[in-house]
Structure 1
Amino acid sequence: MTTFEALGLSPKILKALEKTALKQPTPIQAQAIPQIMQGRDLMGLAQTGTGKTAAFGLPLLHRLLDIGHPPGPKNIRALILVPTRELATQIKDNFLTFTQGTAVKVVMVVGGASVNRQAQSLLKGADVLVATPGRLIDLIERGDVSLEKCGYLVLDEADHMLDMGFIHSLRRIAKHIPLKRQTLMFSATMPKDITEIAETYLRDPVKVQVAPPGKPAEKVTQGVHFIPNGDKARLLEEYLKKHPGEAALVFSRTKHGADKLAKVLAQWGFRVGAIHGNRSQNQRDRILTEFRQGEVDVLVATDVAARGIDIPTVRHVYNYDMPNVPENYVHRIGRTARAGAEGSSLSFCAPAEMGELQAVEKLLKKSLPVLGGAPWAADVVAAAPKPGQNRGQRPQGQRGPRPGAGPGKQGAGKPSSGPKPAARPGAARPQGGGGTPSRRPGGTGGPGRRG
């Protein structure tokens, strides 16, 4: 079996690895590390939680250790671009672990923190800079950092950069980096646009793939529960009470929806926090620390948190709102069952979300097991509120003073036909379905405004 030592990594790196939980290379690490150490450009495809950070970080640091002199004022040697602050923090923390006992300097720059302090940290340069695109452009325009001597470019979670509209930022940044460089691109999914980016920025890359693009971790138990939108909060409460004290990650589509849901769950006695793009970096760091240390059991998040949360204790992922980008489903449920552990994922599907569910199942090339309700009939899907029609709708449970109150009204005043609060989640009465759940729903609906 392959070992890190057999891969030829520097003794200093091997010594740092002795203090970590990394004992043997994962498949993506075993395949990517030798290629990167040889100086090849690389396109890496692997599921989330399989060790992509070490796959590019260890060989990159191995090459940097051979240089032997400081980078120079405001200069950097290696740039790692990521789409979210959470992922940047995760990578920075991993690199700090990998570089223990070496002179390698690692700096992180992200939005939501003091740009002046970040500029100060770059005055003497850095060997590795982990950055989100927007903040890096700010620093370049201020003259606080130079990429003229950057010999390594890493694009991590490149598909999510596309989803978040960072392609234009990437083009602006790439103009400042020498053409003579080593470029590495890593992702868990492979949309068509990623191929175009690889052809633009990578030179004769080797492709390393340890799982089909878009395939979630094997040890995640998945399922779907069909439920009216206004009844989702009570259903979530039932599932959370089945696993008291176990870390759960709940995904909401909108920032406002995440805050509202977290407030309701707190009123019902759960230890809960919310994280999204409107929170400052200090707030996000504090909530993630509380979640990691077990002070918070339930974390409600938008997709900004689907990349970069590496907390092994997460056992349950709930898609309170179906993702409007099917690839995000893979990244969401990849927050559990990390590093070989087991986990579960449950998606709540309202009538207006049938289209999103079908897109996810098309990506997965399989149907999700039905754990409650039945697929919505075509007429129910057609009558579901379209974007903006249910503006102002609150999570069920905010309407009444008692946490145990029955379901409220859904949408534009129509009675909810979802489960009563005391009902078992698996016994929900489907609206528009009936009998044995069909896996070929009668119609699709456009995405509604949920959360």
Structure 2
Amino acid sequence: MGFETDVKRILEYLPVTNQKPDNELAENTKDFGSKDKYRQTVMFTAIMTPIIERLARTYLRRPASVYIGAIGKPTERVEQVIIMCSENEKRNKLLEILERGIEPPIIIFVNQKKAVDVLAKGLSKKGYNPCTLHGGKGQESRDLALAQLKKGEKDILVATDVAGRGIDIKDVSMVLNYDMAKTIQDYTHRIGRTGRAGKAGKAVTFLTKEDSATFYELKEVILESPVSVCPPELINHPDAQHKPGTVVTKRNKTAILCA
């Protein structure tokens, strides 16, 4: 996220004379009661991308890696529901879902900052009690929104992908993708806000023709879920048959599919 240069600069200033050796001697931990002890570096990350893995290998000595869940995949406890619709149908479908009754808190994701405020204002007029979170808000406003949601003062969080990573709100009953995420990785992070700590969750996604670049990967993710059903409209959609950018050969003719 742009912090790599700063992280490297900090690590360069840390003492290296007491680093653990990168061999079997590292297991012989020195007496922590004495002045002579090894420096210990511990790293936590929600995702281990190749870039982060290279950074970790550079500074860690004989690290032990602990993984929780399947790497890069949604938890099996989240039921994924896909609703195929047009852009103009989204608002009514959202209200239909909310009118059936919700168990707060829930999170609604949209892709644009302006859309966050517009949607939250509309929900307020309908009698709901939303708060908002996006990149245009200062840290104080962000902290306030999260605090209100956690205390039960607000029942809905309308947010951009800023809320998709690095936050933990207990007992989120549902994540609703009003706008489908731009990438399947962001989608996975979004729906990971529910179904946490051993509990079940639900993720509803409004899918339009403008989201066709994600159809194939989204279909594959849902088909792998033991608690989700992929709708025929997505399974059979032409854009869900091949991953964008792959080469498909048919009847001795080659075509390149572009995203």
Question: What interval of TM-score do these two structures reach, taking the shorter chain for normalisation?
Answer: 0.7 to 0.9
User: Which residue, 129, 135, 138 being the options, matches 1:271?
Assistant: 129
Partner residue of 2:233?
374
Partner residue of 2:76?
218
Q: Distance in 1 between matches of 2:126 and 2:48?
A: 40
Partner residue of 1:293?
151
**Cα deviation, residue 244, structure 1:** 3.5
Could you list the runs of 5+ residues in structure 1 that have no partner in the other structure? Answer: 1-163, 376-436
Q: Does 1:206 align with 2:64?
A: yes
SS at 1:240's partner residue? Answer: helix
User: Which residue, 300, 316, 326 being the options, matches 2:184?
Assistant: 326
Counterpart residue identity of residue 259, structure 1:
D
**Number of residue equivalences:** 222
Q: Does 1:178 align with 2:15?
A: yes
Partner residue of 2:34?
none
**Cα deviation, residue 263, structure 1:** 1.6
Q: Structure 1 pair 309/210, CA: closer, same or farther in 2 (3 Å)?
A: closer
Q: Does 1:438 align with 2:236?
A: yes
Q: Distance in 1 between matches of 2:258 and 2:98?
A: 29
Please list the CA deviations of residues 38-97 of structure 1 after superposition, one character each: whole Å capped at 9, or x if unmatched.
xxxxxxxxxxxxxxxxxxxxxxxxxxxxxxxxxxxxxxxxxxxxxxxxxxxxxxxxxxxx
**Cα deviation, residue 232, structure 1:** 1.6
Counterpart residue identity of residue 336, structure 1:
T
**Cα deviation, residue 439, structure 1:** 6.0
Runs of at least 4 residues of structure 1 off by over 4 A? 360-365, 442-447
**Cα deviation, residue 278, structure 1:** 1.6
Q: Structure 1 pair 295/318, CA: closer, same or farther in 2 (3 Å)?
A: same
Partner residue of 1:88?
none
Q: Distance in 2 between matches of 1:251 and 1:374?
A: 23
Partner residue of 1:165?
2
Please list the CA deviations of residues 140-199 of structure 1 after superposition, one character each: whole Å capped at 9, or x if unmatched.
xxxxxxxxxxxxxxxxxxxxxxxx333333333333333434222333433322322222
**Percent identity (aligned):** 36
Q: How does 1:86-165 map to 2 (within 5 A)?
A: 164-165=1-2
Q: Structure 1 pair 334/230, CA: closer, same or farther in 2 (3 Å)?
A: same
Partner residue of 1:262?
120
- Contact 1:225/1:370 (8 A) holds in 2: no
Q: Distance in 1 between matches of 2:63 and 2:81?
A: 37
Report the TM-score when normalising by structure 1.
Answer: 0.44
Partner residue of 1:65?
none
Q: Does 1:240 align with 2:98?
A: yes
Could you list the runs of 5+ residues in structure 2 that have no partner in the other structure? Answer: 20-38, 245-256
Q: Structure 1 pair 312/196, CA: closer, same or farther in 2 (3 Å)?
A: same
